[in-house]
Structure 1
Amino acid sequence: MASLDERTLDQQIEQLIEQAPRDDVTGMLIALMAPLLKQIAGQLQYFEYFVLQTPDRGWVVTTLGHRATPELEKTVVYAFPDLQDAQAVAGTHTEVDLVPLNFPVISIIFQLIALKQVESILFFERAGDRQRAVEVRRVDLEAQMQQIMRQQLQQPPPNLA
């Protein structure tokens, strides 16, 4: 896959808005967050990543322990750059059949907001290398979203003369 371009990310934003619930809020929220989602996606290398799913379509959440301080834990979702890496990790979970599915990068980042039990998504950027990843933390995403919302609330409506 090539480096990310703005047009592809815009198409992913439009697709996310089209698939959003018709509640007058979600689509508006996505449109408001579009620059932030594109900024984060722009730090990554791929348009799509593979995420492991359980048979009931839930994303596989992994709990990681800190090497020096084992009581410190973090819950993450892995996003793999290719199918082979995702299948290799799926094969290590013998207790349940996991299915690797590819998702647009914008959708994965947006889903992080809804996954309250997940602290980060780890995007692996090199096939075969599961030691280094780009981490997108939910707490950072939420803080940036709140800043955008505050800025929107401070701006007067455009139809005021």
Structure 2
Amino acid sequence: MDIDAQIQVLVADAPQDGSHMPRAIAEAIGPILARYARLLASEHYYILQTLDRGDWLLTTVRSRTQPGVEKRLVYAFAKREDAICSQPNADMKVVALSVPVVEVIWRLTAMQSVDSIIFFDKPGNFQSGTEVQRDRLQTDIRSELERWQASQVPSNLA
């Protein structure tokens, strides 16, 4: 499913409770998600997910140059085989789940325990990926939503 169709799924799945959420996703949030998704090579990514709780596998990395600095990451792989090969512990019960790229990026906005998702597009290459930072993504969405909300005010309102 292409990126535009993935955005339409988000719009369709938005709460239909009389709020403006479907329009906000279509007109403000969707374009931001699409912009991020178009920086990546694949329309779907494989995410390692625990079998027992269904959580995405979280990896904590520490800075070599700055003691005490950590990042909590989720890795996303364009190829299922790469996701399976990347498992840090063969005894851990995980599965490689295919997730549309827009959904991966959208879910990142709500994952307070995750700092970034690293997308690996080149098969077999775990050294070079594209990082999408949650804070930056949230800032971009917040800014666009503020612009969008301001544009919703009728011009004849006195």
Q: Secondary structure at the match of 1:52?
A: strand
- Deviations 1:29-84 (Å, cap 9, x if unpaired)? 42221111111111110000000001121111110111222311000100001010
1:128 and 1:27 map into 2 onto residues whose CA distance is 39
Equivalent residues in 2 for 1:47-66, closer than 5 Å? 47-55=43-51, 56-66=53-63
TM-score w.r.t. length of structure 2: 0.87
* 2:25 is the counterpart of 1:30: yes
Aligned to 1:121: 117
**Aligned CA-pair RMSD:** 2.0
2:89 and 2:12 map into 1 onto residues whose CA distance is 34
Q: 1:21–1:152: structure 2 CA closer, same or farther, 3 Å change rule? A: closer
Runs of 4+ in 1 over 4 A off after TM superposition: 158-161
State the Cα distance separating 1:89 from its structure 2 match. 1.7
**Paired residues, number:** 154
Q: Secondary structure at the match of 1:131?
A: coil
Residue from 85, 89, 94 that aligns with 2:86: 89
Q: Secondary structure at the match of 1:57?
A: coil
1:154 and 1:105 map into 2 onto residues whose CA distance is 29
Percent pairwise identity: 32
Equivalent residues in 2 for 1:1-161, closer than 5 Å? 8-23=2-17, 24=19, 26-31=21-26, 32-55=28-51, 56-90=53-87, 92-157=88-153, 160=156
State the Cα distance separating 1:153 from its structure 2 match. 2.7
Point out where structure 1 has 5 or more consecutive residues left out of the alignment. 1-6
State the Cα distance separating 1:25 from its structure 2 match. 5.5
2:144 and 2:96 map into 1 onto residues whose CA distance is 33
Q: 1:53–1:26: structure 2 CA closer, same or farther, 3 Å change rule? A: farther
Q: 1:109–1:28: structure 2 CA closer, same or farther, 3 Å change rule? A: same
Whichever residue aligns with residue 36 of structure 1, its letter is I
Stretch of structure 1 that moved more, 109-118 or 150-159: 150-159
State the Cα distance separating 1:158 from its structure 2 match. 5.2
